[in-house]
Structure 1
Amino acid sequence: MPELNQLKAFQDEVGYEAYADGFGLDDFGDRSGLEAGWSKDPEFLARVTPFARVTGGGSFYALWHVDSRADLATLPVVVFGDEGGQHVVARNLRELFRLLAYDTEITVDWDEAYYYRSEDQGHSDSHDTFVGWLAERFDLEPVEDPDEVMAVAQAEFGDSFTVWSNAYLNA
Structure 2
Amino acid sequence: MSDAYSPIPELNLLKGFQDRSADFFSPGFELREYGKGVAWSDDEAPEFDARIISFARATVSGSSYALWRYDDDADLSALPVIFFGDEGDLYVAAHDLRDLFHELAQDDPDDIAPDRRSYIETRRAYKVWLESTFGPVPPERERGPMAEYGWRFADWLTAVGMEDAAEIVVDNLEAMGIDRP
Q: TM-score range by the shorter chain?
A: 0.7 to 0.9
**1:5 pairs with 12, 17, 20, which one?**
12
**1:24 pairs with 4, 19, 30, which one?**
30
Q: Say whether the 8 Å CA contact 2:102–2:137 is kept in structure 1.
A: yes
2:32 is aligned with what amino acid? D
Q: Say whether the 8 Å CA contact 2:41–2:49 is kept in structure 1.
A: no
Residues 65-121 of structure 1 deviation map (CA, whole Å, 9 limit, x = unaligned): 0111341000000010111121101110000001111236xxxxxxxxxxxx5xx33
Unaligned runs of 5+ in 2: 1-7, 165-181
Deviation at 1:164, TM superposition (A): 1.2
**1:88 pairs with 92, 104, 113, which one?**
92
Per the alignment, in what secondary structure is the counterpart of residue 50 of structure 1?
strand
**Alignment TM-score, normalising by the size of structure 2:** 0.73
Q: CA RMSD in A?
A: 2.3
1:155 and 2:147 correspond: yes
2:163 is aligned with what amino acid? N
Deviation at 1:154, TM superposition (A): 0.8
Change (3 A) 1:46 1:15: farther
Q: Say whether the 8 Å CA contact 1:88–1:158 is kept in structure 2.
A: yes
Q: Say whether the 8 Å CA contact 2:65–2:84 is kept in structure 1.
A: yes
Q: How many correspondences in the alignment?
A: 148
Per the alignment, in what secondary structure is the counterpart of residue 52 of structure 1?
strand
Deviation at 1:15, TM superposition (A): 4.1
Structure with greater strand share of residues: 1
Structure showing greater radius of gyration is 2
Distance 2:34 2:79 in 1: 15
Q: Say whether the 8 Å CA contact 1:19–1:103 is kept in structure 2.
A: no
Where do 4+ consecutive residues of structure 1 move more than 6 Å? none
Per the alignment, in what secondary structure is the counterpart of residue 62 of structure 1?
strand
Unaligned runs of 5+ in 1: 105-116
2:87 is aligned with what amino acid? E
2:162 is aligned with what amino acid? L
Per the alignment, in what secondary structure is the counterpart of residue 4 of structure 1?
helix
2:71 is aligned with what amino acid? D
**1:62 pairs with 53, 60, 66, which one?**
66
Distance 2:55 2:35 in 1: 6
**Alignment TM-score, normalising by the size of structure 1:** 0.78
2:26 is aligned with what amino acid? A
Identity %: 41
Structure 1 residues 106-125: aligned runs within 5 Å: 120-122=110-112, 124-125=119-120
